[in-house]
Chain A
Amino acid sequence: MFARLGLILLLIGGTLYATLYPQAIQIDTNINELNPEKNNDAGLLHALNRLTADVSQRFMIVVQGADKRNTERAATALQTALNSLPHLTVIDSDRILDDYLTVITPYRFNVLSESQRRALETKSAAQLANAAQRKLYQLGEGVRLIPFEADPLGWFSDYLLTMSDGMDTPATNNQADKTVTSSAVSISVKFKEYPAGMAEQFRLYEQINTIEQRVSQEFDVAVLHSGMFFFAVDSAQSAKADIQLIAIGSITGVLVLMLLVFRSLLPLLLSLGSIAAGVGFGILASVWLYGSVHILTIVFGASLIGIVVDYSLHYFYHFLADKKVAEAAQKGRDNILFRAMLLSMITSLVGYGALSLSDLAILQKIALFSCSGLFMAWLSVMLFGPWVVRRPIEARQTVLKSMIHGCQRMFGRSPRGVGAAGGAIAAVCLVYLLAGKVEVNDDPRGFFHVSPALLQQEKAVAALTQVYEPGRYLLIRGQQPQQIFDALDQLYALPGVDREMITSTAQWVPSPQVQARNYALQAKLYADGGALDLFSSALGLPKTTVATAKAAYADAAQKPLYFATMAEHVAAIPPLWSAQDEDIYSFGLIRKNSDLTALAAAAAAIPGVEYVNTLGNATQALKSQRETGIILLLVAYALVGVLLSLWYRRAAAALLLLIPASASLIAVALVAVFGQALTIFHIMALFLVLGLGMDYIIFAREMAAKPDTTHQAILLSAITSLLSFGLLAFSSMPVVQAFGSIILIGNTINFIAAVTLIGGGPKHKE
């Protein structure tokens, strides 16, 4: 009684929590969950998260048209429309330049171009003053990027402009040129506030699409976009469609079946109640432990409905029109049912729980969701079931019976023959899998469904604008800022490595040592009697004009500019620098078409520098996971085998495992024959084939006294499971499809074997 009360309170509490704090239930769409790379370095994790978050907070839009002016007009219209959306802001070049200048100007005496450094080392103050004076007369010269008083010699302006050398013709990303027939303008957009929920993300996605289409039609231009946001929303949309298909399909199937079979609302209520309790508790457990529910967890979790309903089905069938049993149940003395239910639940928990042994965060989350959901559903059936069976349960059995008898007539006339045939087919499948060079896929990019149109746009935008190798970067570690710069200098000095290959912190800020050296060299310009004094007297400038610059120089002594300071004030600069405790992590972004082999070799030769290939690492790690998964599956079989032997006190009981084992081999061979490349998700699905198969076998064996009703319960259970898992096989997402197809095939075989080989054939009547 206390247990029931406790469960009721828990369910009410959970419902209230979900109702009062719906915002606490966040749906996570991060596809990085599929990356098995473990990172135990908190500092590095923080740095990587910042970089990833920065990348995911931006996207790029490219406007392409035949006429340059028209393309620019279209880009402006698009920019205005995007800026009008509250979530977005187009990165404004004027703002960036203002921010950049504001940050670097006080540190202008710490920076020098190579030619300026040479000039300071080789020329006298008089020569330098003369050169500055001459420069004023040159065509176009004389303009200062900061006021004349702050940079009278023009050295700082020159430094900034020298950095742009090689880029000034043409000077923007605008690829229009009179010699080409088309032009393109790229627009970088940043999120002011990332849309919180899926609904808001979809809405923004639609708004962006509408704007793009309007501009495209109005100006007759092509508008392409690229960014993680679009991929995330696209994946989430696919997942949402899958969730709807699976959840609606499963629930409708279960409802119709229950109503048709039991013709009563009470069993239906318990079934739905146990489903709601199981799924609800699964969601709350995920939120409590992980802070959110991953979208894939929900997709897989929706299929849990098919298993959860099994408990109530077996429960009701056990009490079919059997007053004595019902009375015994009310007195809590039905040990046969309890044993079967308990063993079934434990084997399912072993099956789902084995997923948590994976290093993939997503599989761990699915394991938690499923195990907690299964347990809660089981508990609710066991505690509330006796209330439901107070009144005799009746079921329409004719159709189910004829289905089972049909199945038994087809397969069960010679159980040994069926068993032998199944074993032989499984053996052939095993040989095929071992010798047939079955195709495998460990590339995480193949796990998701991405719309071909989006991929095409991504490629087109990358060809026009993207300058960095995706998924590859250099990681430079050190304890002092100078160590990072020294490592970069060593890297640049190695053969095959060019400065142009890498975008690093060194591009924006010189090392502290170099800044100090640059400052010291400029004493020749700004010290008393230096080039500035000579320059001002030659031009007849009042002393007050140059006093500002001289005072600023004196004030800037021993004040190095750090990258973190610059990144903090210039929003467009990616977070390439992160300091945690005493460790510094810096990233080098690799430009496209760089010699990656040379770069990797160079990085390997320098302590503290690491060439990171995230896709390669993820693929390798997933391969390792797939291989480990097979070993873990064998371990799970061994554990269940030991459990069965102990439970039945017979070693031969472990032979029951031959049923799910054969089902698994046949399922894997079939999906391979039909062209699916095997992934870790196929392997993980095999854990469920084991868990579900053991459910059927245990009920068939434990309830052997009433084979007819038990088989009906198993049939109903199988239909509901196949409804939910079978629907997964038709998902648009390859990972979900892999999961569903293995379970659809494997579980069908499990069912046939359970009703024909275990607990008696057609001759055994109740």
Chain B
Amino acid sequence: MKKTYFTWLGLFCLLAVADASPVLAKDSKNTEETLLSAIFPSRCNFSGHFSQRKAVEGVSVPLNSTGDFFYSCDLGLVWHTSKPFSEAVLYVNSTNNFKAEDDGTLTPLTGITRYIMSNIFVRLLNGDTAYFAEEFSVTEATDKTVRLHPESGMLQKGLDVIHISKTEDDSQTAVSIKVTDVKGQDTLVLIDHIQQYSFTGKRSAYEQCNNLYADKTNWCQVLRSPSRFDVF
């Protein structure tokens, strides 16, 4: 039995235990940030498709899902799974994040999903290279895959390694993210059909969101004005 994402209990017990991490010199951090910059998004507004393949211990079949997403630095993230179910994660910030149904039914995000969104996924989309250089040991494998090993004790309890690779050809860019947890379970997310937008500002982002998810009730409005959708 592992103690995945379970450090919160430590708060009950008024303790915090530090874990060892290698000291990286400034130069090393700069190198890490350079590596990350090469694969992280360079624009602030983009959309795309994803396919996800998950392996869960105890479930004999792989769990495959597909969908699309829209991300804006100003507005937030819509992560829409279309198959085998239609539902979305709407992430505005660490306090406003929901699971949304097509009909606009919202449920607050909890547990691991919320943690992963707050601490890894949205930061990755946001191109927060400084954060990843600080929290992870970043190295490049021979196949040009960038490997991120968590350095903080908290992340080490749940996460083993993240592999990120980027492929580019004339027509499109694809990013592959493989997350391996401490139990050896892999989640592979392949992002492609990435379309980058040159507009700026929240209003334009909201309009683009509405274009993409016109058939979904309130999703983009939740991103624009999350306080109006108090589900707590």
Contact = CB atoms under 8 A, between A and B. Distances in A.
A575 B58 CA distance: 38
Interface stretch (A138-146, A290-298, A334-342, A747-755): A138-146
26 contacts: A69-B21, A69-B22, A72-B152, A76-B19, A96-B10, A139-B113, A140-B113, A142-B187, A143-B112, A147-B57, A148-B58, A152-B58, A161-B8, A162-B111, A164-B111, A167-B11, A168-B114, A169-B119, A170-B154, A173-B10, A187-B17, A188-B14, A188-B15, A503-B12, A539-B59, A572-B15
Contacts of A573: 12-13
A173 B24 contact: no
Contact of B63 (A98, A136, A165): A136
A160 B60 CA distance: 25
B14 A139 contact: no
B23 interface: yes
A72 B156 CA distance: 14
A145 B113 contact: no
A62 B11 CA distance: 15
A94 interface: yes
B130 interface: yes
Interface stretch (B35-43, B84-92, B166-174, B208-216): B84-92
B7 A172 contact: yes
A705 interface: no
Nearest to A219: B23
A172 B189 CA distance: 28
Contacts of B8: 161, 163-164, 167-168, 171
Contacts of A98: 1, 3
- Residue among A63, A72, A137, A140 having the largest count of chain B Cβ atoms under 10 Å: A140
B4 A90 contact: no
A161 B1 contact: no
Interface of B: 1-24, 52, 54, 56-61, 63, 65, 79, 81, 84-85, 87, 89, 94, 99, 107, 110-119, 121, 130-131, 134, 151-154, 158, 181, 183, 185, 187, 189
Contact of A168 (B2, B13, B87, B118): B118
Contacts of A174: 16, 18, 152-154
A260 B158 CA distance: 80
A67 B15 CA distance: 20
A507 B2 CA distance: 23
Interface string A69-101: 111110110010000000000111110111011
A465 B9 contact: no
A146 B84 CA distance: 26
B133 to A, nearest CB: 9
A143 B185 contact: yes
Contacts of B153: 72, 172, 174
A591 to B, nearest CB: 11
Of B5, B107, B183, which is in contact with the most chain A CB atoms at under 10 Å from its CB?
B5
Given A188-B13, A539-B61, A141 B113 contact: yes
Interface string A566-582: 00000011000000000
Nearest to B11: A167
A37 interface: no
B7 A93 contact: yes
Given A139-B187, A142-B187, A146-B1, 14 more contacts: A69-B21, A71-B18, A91-B17, A96-B9, A97-B6, A136-B56, A141-B113, A143-B181, A168-B114, A173-B10, A174-B152, A467-B14, A539-B59, A572-B13
Given A137-B84, A168-B114, A173-B11, A541 B17 contact: no
B110 A161 contact: yes
B91 to A, nearest CB: 10
A558 interface: no
A337 B154 CA distance: 80
A28 interface: no
Nearest to B57: A148
B131 A139 contact: no
Contacts of A93: 3, 7, 9-10, 13, 15-17
